[in-house]
Amino acid sequence: MKLQKIPESQIIEKIKFENHWWKDKKIDNHYANMPRRIYFNIFMQIINAARDHRAVVLLGQRGIGKTAMLSHTIQELINQGICADKIVLISFAIPVFKGLNLKEVVKLSLKALNVKSADDLYFIFEEIQYLNNWEEQLEQVASNYHKTLFIGSSSIGIKSANKRKASSKRFHSFLLPVLSFYEFIEIRNQQNPINFDDDYSDEQIGIFNQYLLDYINYGNYSSVVISSKINHEQVRLEGSRYLHQILLRDLPNLYGINKLYKLNSFTSLLAYNSGVETNVEELSALTGFTQQTVVKYLNYLEHIFLIKRIYRFADRHKDERDSLYFRVYISNPSLRTALFTPLSDDNIRTEYMVETAILAQWQHIEKDMFYYCKHDHVIIDLIKVDENKNPIWITDVRWQHPHGLAPNELDIVGHFCEKYGLISSMITTKQTRDIIPSSNVIHSYEPASLYCYTIGKQIVEDKLIDSQ
């Protein structure tokens, strides 16, 4: 037998095989049994409201539940009365589909369904980033098929997002963030219910602190979070699976990064030092990579939602940032445990990861509006700014020191507040809750675990209100 090209009939059969709900009328039990993200209802509202030739794109880093979200979407559409054979999913992570464009996929899917029109069909394109110029292709099919809804998912951010927002109305992007600490507690409480009162006793704060450490160590490993019993081997295996998804897959090739071992080494270095100040020159000297390579790696890791850079407040109006100081945070705190070992309560690095976890909650807002300040060896960790980059509130994260800030440190924080017209500051601790007046500034002390929980809860509630 001679070598043959893959016949069209085989691709059609593969489409039928992958879309088993055309016959089963339901999704796999694996995904059906997973809890739905709090953001799922917001995502479904966007899908149900998508009209006028628009498409919807689900964005987010690898390994945080985009596939589960899409599976739950399929089931919800079926529950809403949409015929199961009107929902087509194509994953471009499957090799046989990678050489096709969206027009070809639509035509082949119609043949698989044995229909002539795409009217009233739902197309879900998973891992759409593997297509060349996928944004343009998605816009084009959304424009050509007026009565069809297209949903895509990408593990890479949209190119030239600001320009696209101004010039295009063809698709709505929705960023799925890592699991928030609030969501984590809600899921864990389903397994081991705990009743919290408004006063939060020392015992309850201790429980919250343990929850926070658990969240940092494995809070974004889905199978571990929903498990009623958690053991070391389970965490280790899930961490290995997560690392394979985000580090060992072929996304770097799309950026022209072919030395994967260097990228992985660089990522490990950033994860170990999450929250520590650095700059491109220092990273270049430490790794032996050229500064150009360092910048390329940083841009790539940020574009796949794996890290977040926060710059010095003093440099907030500068556009050229490659030469500036910054702090790099991993966006998923659990990445550190996957690369190394779980952190304990008294580890010197735990405070940095608590800070990383708090910033991860704020990233649910999807806006770049945070800086940090360094003055006389005192660092104000998070400075939230308005559209003009003026401070509107500050938070300093402490964990190791039970009494928060020393008097001279409070003076520096107070001076910053007075300089920019702020009347209060937030300082997180491990256990202390207190209010300390200092000159014209009120310093509020709050346990970091409660603060982390409150942020996540408030952001989710605000988003639910906005979506309604």
Same domain, 23 and 137: yes
Are both 47 and 134 inside the same structural domain? yes
Residue with tokens 């407040």: 313
**Radius of gyration over alpha carbons of the chain, in Å?**
24
pTM value is 0.88
Q: What local confidence, expressed as pLDDT, does residue 53 receive?
A: 62
Please check whether residues 239 and 108 belong to one and the same domain. no
Helices (H) and strands (E) in the chain, counts: 20, 14
Nearest to 398, CA basis, from 415, 380, 412, 413: 380
Q: What is the per-residue pLDDT for 98?
A: 84
Q: Which of 133, 158, 175 is the last residue of a domain?
A: 175
What CATH number is given to the structural domain containing 85? 3.40.50.300
- Same domain? For 22 and 120 the reply is yes
| 444 and 333 belong to one structural domain | yes
Do 158 and 88 lie in a common domain?
Answer: yes
| DSSP-derived secondary structure letter, 33 | T
User: Closest by alpha carbon to 337, among 242, 430, 265, 249?
Assistant: 242
Mean pLDDT within 116-120? 93
For residue 184, the tally of other CB atoms under 10 A from its CB is 23
Query: Is there a domain that residue 3 lies in?
Result: no
DSSP states of 335-380: HHHHHS-PPPTT-TTHHHHHHHHHHHHHGGG----EEEEEETTEEE
Q: What is the pLDDT of residues 298-356, one digit of tens each?
A: 999 999 899 999 999 999 888 887 789 999 999 999 889 888 988 998 888 999 999 99
Same domain, residue pair 94 and 208: no
Residue that finishes a domain, picked among 154, 175, 196: 175
Same domain for 67 and 211, yes or no, is: no
Q: Is the pLDDT of residue 269 over 90?
A: yes
Q: Are residues 152 and 219 in the same domain?
A: no
Whether residue 146 lies inside any domain: the answer is yes
The answer on 355 and 212 residing in a single domain is yes
Last residue of a domain, one of 117, 144, 175: 175
Instruction: Look at phi and psi of residue 295 and say left if phi exceeds 0, alpha if psi is from -120 to 50, else beta.
Output: alpha
Q: Establish if 141 belongs to a structural domain.
A: yes
Question: Do 64 and 92 belong to one domain?
Answer: yes
In the predicted structure, residue 401 carries a pLDDT above the cut 80: no
Domain count, the chain: 2
Would you state the pLDDT for residue 163? Answer: 45
Per-residue confidence (pLDDT) for residue 376, from 0 to 100: 76
> Residue 178: is it exposed, middle or buried by C-beta count within 10 angstroms (0-12/13-18/19+)?
buried
Q: Let me know if residue 295 belongs to a domain.
A: yes
Does residue 369 fall inside a structural domain? yes
Contact status, residue 151 vs residue 51, Cβ threshold 8 Å: no
Q: Looking at the predicted structure, is the pLDDT value of residue 227 above 90?
A: no
Residue 1 lies in a domain: no
Domain residues for the domain of 148 are 8-175
Band (pLDDT 50/70/90 cuts) for residue 195 is: low
User: Do 417 and 461 fall into the same domain?
Assistant: yes
Query: Tokens in use for 137?
Result: 């292709």
Predicted pLDDT at 451: 93
The pLDDT value recorded for residue 467 is 62
